[in-house]
A and B are shown apart, each in its own frame.
Chain A
Amino acid sequence: KLFHFGPCRISMSMNEIRAGFAAIKDNIQGRDPIRTVSILSHPHSLHKIKSSEKCCIIHHLFNFYVDKVFKYCTTEDSYVNRKISSIANSFLSIKRNLAPCHNQNMCKCGQESTEKFKQILTNYRGLNVTSAAMKSLGELDILLDWMEKSR
C-alpha cells in the first residue's frame, strides 16, 4: 500500500503490525491503569497535524518507539514478548523505508510538529519509564489509525 506523508511517498504493509498489536492489545492496555493521561493523543490529537508535517512526526515517533518504548515493555508472558519483538522489528523495517524521505529532506519539521513531539515527550516523562513505555505501546493503535488515514 502507498502512504503519503506530506511530500514523502512510501510503500509499506501495516497488516502484520496491526495483527501483532491486536493479539496483545487487551493484555498491554490492561497493564495501564491510568485513564486520564494519553502519550500520543492529548491534549492535542495527532489528527490535527497538517499533512505537510506528517513525515516529520512519523520519523520522530518511530525513533521514539524504537529507542524509548519497546525495550521497557518486557513482560512475564513469553507470547506477549514475542509479539512485541515482532512489532519492534517491523518498526525497524519501516524506519528503513522512511529513511530515503528523511535523507532527501522531505520530512521538514515545522513548529506544529515540533511542538507536538515535545508534548509527547513531556507526557512520556510525566510517568515512570515502565508505565510510560507500556502506555505508549498500548496506544499503538492510535498511531496506526492516524498513519493509515494517509493512504
Chain B
Amino acid sequence: DALLPAPQNISIISTNMKHFLTWSPVSIQGETVRYSVEFQGEYERDYANESWIPICECSLITVTVCNITEDISATVPYNLRVRADTGSRRSEWGTLKGFFNRITTYLTPPLMKIIVDGYHLLVELEDLGPAFQFCVLYWKKGQESRMQQKMVKEISSTLHLDTMEAGTEYCVKAQTYVEAINRSSNFSEMQCVRAQG
C-alpha cells in the first residue's frame, strides 16, 4: 500500500502559556484518518539519543489540534511531529519547521476592573493560571512620577490596592508576569476612578 501523505501546515498557536499544535487534515476517500503526536525536548535531543515521546492524549485522534501545554513545561527548544494513520496505512512523520520554545508565547494584557468602595481602591483581575503573576501600577492622576506598584501572585476576587485621599482621582493599569519565562505582557488600558468626598 502507498504511504499516506504526511500532515502539512504544522504550526503552533501559543497564547498565555497555553500551547496548541495544529495541522491540515489528510483526506482519504472513504477512510477515517487519525493522527498521533510526539515531542522531543532539548534533553531528548542532546542526552537521550534524540528520542521522541508520544503524547497519549493525542494518540490516534481525529481532530487536527493537540494541546501540548502539559508537555512543553520547560523553557527549552522543542521539536514536534505528527503522523497520519488509517489503521491499514500510515504516513511519514510531518515535523514542525524549526523549534518551539514557550518563551515566544503571546502574553495578552490582563482583563482588569477597578472598583471604588468609599476611600478604598480595589482591583479585579482575570485568573490565567498558576504560572501568572500581575504587576499592578496605580497613581494619583497627574502624578505619574509617583507611581506605586503591587505584585499580585494569587488571584482572589476583589483585591485591595490602597486607601485613597478623599475626592482624589486615581489611575490604574496592570500587566501579567510569567516567572518561568521571565517575560511580561503589555499593560492593560489605564482606568481612572475618583475617591468619595
Contact = CB atoms under 8 A, between A and B. Distances in A.
Report whether chain A binds chain B.
Answer: yes
A71 B47 contact: yes
Nearest to B78: A89
A93 B44 contact: no
Taking chain A's interface residues, is the majority helix, strand, or loop, or is none over half, making it mixed? helix
Nearest to A71: B48
Nearest to A81: B53
Contacts of A91: 43
B130 interface: yes
B76 interface: yes
Contacts of A15: 130-131, 179-180
Nearest to B41: A89
A75 interface: no
B71 A82 contact: yes
Interface in A67-107: 67, 70-71, 78-79, 81-82, 85-86, 88-93
B43 A92 contact: yes
Nearest to B130: A15
Contacts of B131: 15
Interface string B136-149: 00000000000000
Chain A CB count within 10 A is highest, among B39, B53, B54, for B53
A86 B40 CA distance: 10
B105 interface: no
Interface residues of B, number: 24
Given A1-B179, A89-B74, A82 B47 contact: no
Taking chain B's interface residues, is the majority helix, strand, or loop, or is none over half, making it mixed? loop
A91 B42 CA distance: 10
B2 interface: no
Interface residues of A, number: 22
Given A15-B130, A66-B43, A88-B43, A93 B53 contact: no
A131 B44 CA distance: 21
B38 to A, nearest CB: 11
B99 to A, nearest CB: 12
A78 B130 CA distance: 25
A148 interface: no
Contact of B53 (A16, A70, A85): A85
A84 to B, nearest CB: 9
Interface of A: 1, 11, 13, 15-16, 20, 66-67, 70-71, 78-79, 81-82, 85-86, 88-93
22 contacts: A13-B179, A66-B43, A66-B47, A67-B47, A78-B54, A79-B56, A81-B53, A85-B39, A85-B41, A85-B44, A86-B74, A88-B41, A88-B43, A88-B47, A88-B48, A89-B41, A89-B42, A89-B73, A89-B76, A91-B43, A92-B74, A93-B75
